Structure 1
Amino acid sequence: MSKALTVNSYFEDQVKSIALDNAEGVSTVGVMQIGEYEFGTSQKEYMTVVSGSLTVKLPGESDWQTFTKNQTFIVEANQSFGVKVAEVTAYHCRYE
């Protein structure tokens, strides 16, 4: 029997995700509204843009980078990263 899906909500409902655990491991699929956000990690994260784009300031970087559909960025555990969202964007995040 599969586990119930967990819905997560952040930044006053501006970011929502659904967590899943399957043969590929633990991941979330979510949507971000237009805005700027700061996220922290507790595990290594592989974040892939599904639709839209994310402009990201990765840990230790001084420049912002934009990731579009099917592009992935990686953030190590116990780091924080900034995200700017110019259009409503869907993402998939896999945890290790």
Structure 2
Amino acid sequence: MSQFNNVSVATKANVYFDGGVTSRTVWFADGSKKTLGLMLPGVYEFTTDTVEIMEFTSGSLLALLPGETEWKPFEGGTQFEVPAHATFKMDVKTVTDYVCSFITGS
């Protein structure tokens, strides 16, 4: 999806890893939320509270997903899902644009 309609957006950015990863939170009428963000090249480790779906709109990276031993490639137009209360790593190779969906009740 290239656009979200009828949403509220946080004006304050979420900034992680000294600015290597930034995002804005978007809330939908049904109470769900997503973040729209940008990652600069680097290696980052994240921990989830809920199930998360990471969708990439541009860029390229490798991801080491929970329970996996091998890094897998992802690029614009691809996605992966991470379970709640899990840790995963991303080795971002080029500037990468992403949408992260938070699946509550999981």
Match of 1:93 in 2: 100
Task: Answer yes or no: is 1:75 the counterpart of 2:105.
Answer: no
Match of 1:26 in 2: 33
Structure 1 segments of 4 or more deviating over 6 A? Answer: none
Q: Determine which structure has the larger strand proportion and give its number.
A: 1
Match of 2:4 in 1: none
Identity among equivalent positions (%) equals 37
TM-score (norm 1): 0.92
RMSD of aligned Cα (Å) = 1.5
Match of 1:13 in 2: 19
User: What SS is found at the alignment partner of 2:70?
Assistant: coil
Distance 2:75 2:34 in 1: 19
**8 Å contact 2:8–2:28 — kept in the other structure?**
no
User: Where in structure 1 are there 5+ consecutive unaligned residues?
Assistant: none
Q: 1:4 to 1:28 in 2, by over 3 A?
A: closer
AA paired with 2:49? Answer: S
- Paired residue total: 95
TM-score (norm 2): 0.84
Match of 1:41 in 2: 48
Cα displacement (A) at 1:70 = 1.4
Task: Answer yes or no: is 1:57 the counterpart of 2:64.
Answer: yes
Distance 2:9 2:80 in 1: 28
Distance 1:11 1:71 in 2: 23
User: Where in structure 2 are there 5+ consecutive unaligned residues?
Assistant: 1-6
Cα displacement (A) at 1:7 = 1.5
Cα displacement (A) at 1:23 = 4.0
Distance 2:44 2:51 in 1: 18
